[in-house]
Amino acid sequence: MGTSKREFSMKLVVDSISSMEDGREYSVTEEHFGVPWKIKVLNLDGSLSFFLYCLQPKNGTWSIETILEFKVSTGIDSFSSKHKRRYQNSDRDSQIEWGWSNLVSAQRMVDHSEGRNNSETIFEIKVEIKSMTGCGKENLRNFDESVKECSDVVLVVKDREF
């Protein structure tokens, strides 16, 4: 029996790059597989930044192995980039974001897309989670010593008793 893939995508649509305020963050936050994620686009000093943040709390040790596909689409063209990345938190290291600080100049995007029938720009990230440790949804049932007297069968799956 195969395991289901843990995949999701997030999208942020900007109606007009030229109307983006300098220094203002444009973002969307969503929860997927028990973990909060944020896609962020920022126009800072004429340069567009594009990031995906993992908003898992920074307490405890956790790790999420991902394959990320960043895509930017205009009415007439698109470009994308695919990467393997680890989001993590531990006593020694914390890595909660990945993306580009200076992806492309805002003016270049304006020149490329504005004046067309559709001047919106779509920033999209497709995420495939390869593995997660220390985070995600909590178990909805307890199978520990507290319910031992109610159990008449014990199943062992990958060294875990149920």
Is residue 139 very low, low, confident or very high in pLDDT (cuts 50, 70, 90)?
very low
Quick one: three-class SS letters along the chain?
CCCCCEEEEEEEEECCHHHCCCCCEEEEEEEECCEEEEEEEEEECCEEEEEEEECCCCCCCEEEEEEEEEEEECCCCEEEEEEEEEEEECCCCEECEEEEEEEEEHHHHHHHHCCCCCCCEEEEEEEEEEEEECCCCCCCCCCCHHHHHHCCCCCEECCEEC
In order of their start, the domains of the chain are 6-161 (2.60.210.10)
Percent of the chain with pLDDT over 70: 81
Kindly report, residue by residue over 36-84, the tens digit of the pLDDT.
Answer: 999 999 999 999 999 999 999 988 899 999 999 999 998 778 899 999 9
